[in-house]
A and B are shown apart, each in its own frame.
Chain A
């Protein structure tokens, strides 16, 4: 496999705060990555570093094998759609699409026009007169129609309604199928995107805490529910990710079980239920607070 991004020991400090702390990972070509994490975890800083908009304090970044900072060769193959993209005063969506064609060699104007109709973006209205969702839709359209070999979507859908988000996912998958490329999608709506992702990176407090194929994470944890005594006996020797309980009932999240363990648990009268990617990430990124408050 070919890596389009290779990051080694990357750290970015703002004063004493390490927004990105010793991150090492690769992004393989033509896969959809999810970059997930809580607010302030370092997602945006990491994407800014990868697109040459921030400088590393330590470590190295290679994008298409080169340093991205002020590197035209790298940057014209990269598209970064930001949550809070600013547009020049008096710009209308049609101006945004027209100028996108200058920056992105693979720009597909017909596709952009088609998407604008589907997302109901008025082409000849000033950007600042558009609703929050329409501004987000303009960003999503640029991200899709640019067909950049490396595309970042940083929370692209502020204000987008459920219909528009579904449209975004559908068009993303369709176009990705026809024009494979590397996509990094940063979002809080984990349940909505979990099936789209091939690989998951989770960042917490500046550190990469999960770097795994989405299929491996699926089913990597199980909730065990039942009478507290029976549950505790079953999970005794295991790593517990989360513990919850009410009255005599306990609900404990543990790492994946083997089929034999599943039947042991079932015959002990315990209920087993899967843990979604979203729940898993909540468990893993709130662990520290749990320990501190315990």
Chain B
């Protein structure tokens, strides 16, 4: 876990990641808060906060007496959200680092193309 950010956010992101990758399919049950807590070795209340964040966003939903499930359409919504964050999280730091090293935008684009075909 990353020390700089609240753990519950990291847990929510981890579950989101599993939904995006397909490891957690839509309409399948997700592990319970206690199972998450035991597996990730964090306080159950913290794991609960992470799960509840996703319930508030409609990514997970509760079936009374059964547990937590991945909502229909969750994956598409998460992908859209991550695309929105893509430029601040990945592209901007990339450009800043490139600028430090004197790599021009054109050279950067070439590097990306080269990596993609490699």
Are B46 and A173 within 8 A (Cβ)? no
- Which one of B1, B8, B46 has the greatest number of beta carbons of chain A within 10 Å? B46
Q: Report chain A residues within 8 Å CB of B103.
A: none
Surface stretch bound by A, among B13-21, B31-39, B61-69, B107-115 = B31-39
B residues 21-62 with Cβ under 8 Å of A? 33-34, 37-38, 40-46, 49
Among A174, A197, A273, point to the contact of B43 (Cβ < 8 A): A197
Among B37, B38, B46, B96, point to the contact of A215 (Cβ < 8 A): B46
Q: Report chain A residues within 8 Å CB of B40.
A: 195
How far is the CB of B4 from the nearest CB of chain A, in Å?
3
**Interface size range on B against A:** 20 to 34
A180 to B37, CA, bound (A): 13
Q: B3 interface residue, CB < 8 Å from A?
A: yes
Q: B106 interface residue, CB < 8 Å from A?
A: no
| Chain A interface mostly | mixed
Q: B71 interface residue, CB < 8 Å from A?
A: no
Q: B5 interface residue, CB < 8 Å from A?
A: yes
Among B5, B43, B49, B100, point to the contact of A173 (Cβ < 8 A): B43
Q: Report chain A residues within 8 Å CB of B34.
A: 174, 177-178
Are B44 and A173 within 8 A (Cβ)? yes
Among A177, A267, A275, A277, point to the contact of B37 (Cβ < 8 A): A177
**Interface size range on A against B:** 20 to 34
A170 to B1, CA, bound (A): 17
Q: Report chain A residues within 8 Å CB of B6.
A: 215, 218-219
How far is the CB of A48 from the nearest CB of chain B, in Å?
26
Mask of A189-219 contacts with B, CB within 8 angstroms, 1/0: 0000001111000000000000000110011
Are A274 and B2 within 8 A (Cβ)? yes
Q: A103 interface residue, CB < 8 Å from B?
A: no
Q: Report chain B residues within 8 Å CB of A173.
A: 37-38, 41-44
A222 to B4, CA, bound (A): 8
Q: Report chain B residues within 8 Å CB of A169.
A: 41
Nearest 7 CB-CB pairings of A with B:
A274-B4, A177-B34, A274-B3, A215-B6, A195-B42, A177-B44, A219-B4
Knowing that A195-B41, A215-B46, A215-B49 touch, tell me 6 more A-B residue pairs with CB under 8 angstroms: A170-B41, A173-B38, A215-B6, A218-B3, A274-B5, A275-B3
Residues on B close to A: CB < 8 A? 1-8, 33-34, 37-38, 40-46, 49, 93, 96, 100
Can you list 19 residue pairs at the A/B interface with Cβ under 8 Å?
A31-B45, A174-B34, A174-B38, A176-B44, A177-B34, A177-B38, A178-B34, A195-B1, A195-B40, A195-B46, A196-B42, A196-B43, A197-B43, A215-B46, A218-B4, A219-B6, A222-B4, A275-B3, A276-B3
